[in-house]
Structure 1
Amino acid sequence: MARYGKEHKLATRQRIIETAGRRLKRDGIDGSGVAALMADAGLTNGAFYAHFESKEDLVATAVADQLRDQRERLAAAPPGRAGLDQIIRAYLSPEHRDSREEGCPSAALLDEIGRCAEPTKQVYTDSVLAFIDDIAARLAPHDPRSARVATLGVYALMVGTLQLSRALADQELADEVLEQGIRNAMALLDDAPH
């Protein structure tokens, strides 16, 4: 019975993390209270502290989980430059832009993460650097560290491009911004150390 209890608790925790990740990306950190986050998971407020020390703990965990999902999608892409091109095109697509809840946590939450406490910023930094290092390893397989800063630059361009496209009321212009972002990211990759 105790084993079932532990497995059930882990499954419940994961459900909270996944539903919180979607809510946080949709409504932001400040716009997502504990009550709403728990209701999304089908639980009461009282259950929250059985799984997390604080809302900040949940935010850090959910963002890390979201970035881990991005890394898994990256790993599934074809190897080398072809895979990077596919990833950039998918990231800077109208579909990704229009599905904030299922999209990138950086594009949805970066400004708010910047205002979080240091432990959350550190979890974000560690998670995003793991993602960046996976991309850098595709660019410079013999020396991934040499491509880290250039890869961070490409990622920053992609995140900012997606954010700007989401904010524009003119749909045609928003689509053009995505297309230009793809061209800019590809050009930066061409200039990155290999």
Structure 2
Amino acid sequence: MARYGKEHKLATRQRIIETAGRRFKRSGIDGSGVATLMADAGLTNGAFYAHFESKEDLIATAVSHQLREQGEQLAAVAPGRDGLEQIVRTYLSREHRDSPEEGCPSAALLDEITRCADPTKQAYTDSVLAFVDDMAARLAPHDPQSARTTILGVYALMVGTLQLSRALTDRQLADDLLEQGIRNALAALDAGQ
């Protein structure tokens, strides 16, 4: 039986993390068993423990990965206030609302993350704060720490708006809510400058 090299193991681990992140956001953490997660990655259930200590380990890793990717997308956005507006408009878009498996883990999983073990919550906290701090640096480049609470509030507003918009059956009302959320987030950013 041939042994796989380190690169193959890392690539396999990455595939599990990425497919698990999408599955968690689509079906929820509790609705995603290890067997389903591994099947999504095209692997057997038995291969799981070669890559992760537990499901909780995978949750923390996948959520952190998703938030890190979200943060990396900031690099492609214009600097300053214009970039923040672009982030708000993209986040509170119909496309983001209608594709939770491709979107923000906070909007898809926040209620479940609060019930996770402390290491998972700490990994989430660290990842969210890295994202928030990147946004704060756009709002207050000379003193990002002064804008951290403002950005946390805007982020919370965006997450809650997206969650509520996803839950509404009235599509026009859901669309109107996204538009109002954009206005509210931009007003909060302007008030925080």
Q: Normalised by the size of structure 2, how large is the TM-score? A: 0.98
- What secondary structure does 1:53 align onto? coil
Partner of 1:31: 31
Instruction: Give the letter for the 2:102 counterpart.
Output: E
Cα shift at 1:74: 1.0
Instruction: Give the letter for the 1:14 counterpart.
Output: Q
Partner of 2:10: 10
Partner of 2:96: 96
Instruction: Give the letter for the 1:139 counterpart.
Output: L
Partner of 2:109: 109
What is the distance in 1 between the residues matched to 2:187 and 2:126? 26
Note the aligned Cα RMSD (angstroms).
1.2
The superposition leaves residues 78-114 of structure 1 with CA deviations (integer Å, 9 ceiling, x where unpaired) of: 1111111111000000000000110000000000000
What is the distance in 2 between the residues matched to 1:125 and 1:142? 24
Partner of 2:125: 125
- What secondary structure does 2:111 align onto? helix
Partner of 2:163: 163
What is the distance in 2 between the residues matched to 1:90 and 1:144? 22
Instruction: Give the letter for the 2:12 counterpart.
Output: T
What is the distance in 2 between the residues matched to 1:175 and 1:74? 24
Structure 1: state its 5+ residue gaps: none
- What secondary structure does 2:86 align onto? helix
Partner of 2:61: 61
**Percent of paired sites with the same residue:** 81
The superposition leaves residues 127-160 of structure 1 with CA deviations (integer Å, 9 ceiling, x where unpaired) of: 0000000000000111100000110000000000
Once the two structures are superposed, the pairs formed by residues 142-157 of structure 1 within 5 Å of their partners are 142-157=142-157
The superposition leaves residues 42-101 of structure 1 with CA deviations (integer Å, 9 ceiling, x where unpaired) of: 000100000000000000000000001100111110111111111100000000000011
What is the distance in 1 between the residues matched to 2:47 and 2:4? 18
Q: Is 2:45 aligned against 1:45?
A: yes
How many equivalent pairs are there?
192
Instruction: Give the letter for the 1:105 counterpart.
Output: P
The superposition leaves residues 20-41 of structure 1 with CA deviations (integer Å, 9 ceiling, x where unpaired) of: 0000000000000000000000
Partner of 2:179: 179
What is the distance in 2 between the residues matched to 1:66 and 1:103? 9
Cα shift at 1:3: 10
What is the distance in 1 between the residues matched to 2:133 and 2:85? 16
Partner of 1:20: 20
Structure 2: state its 5+ residue gaps: none
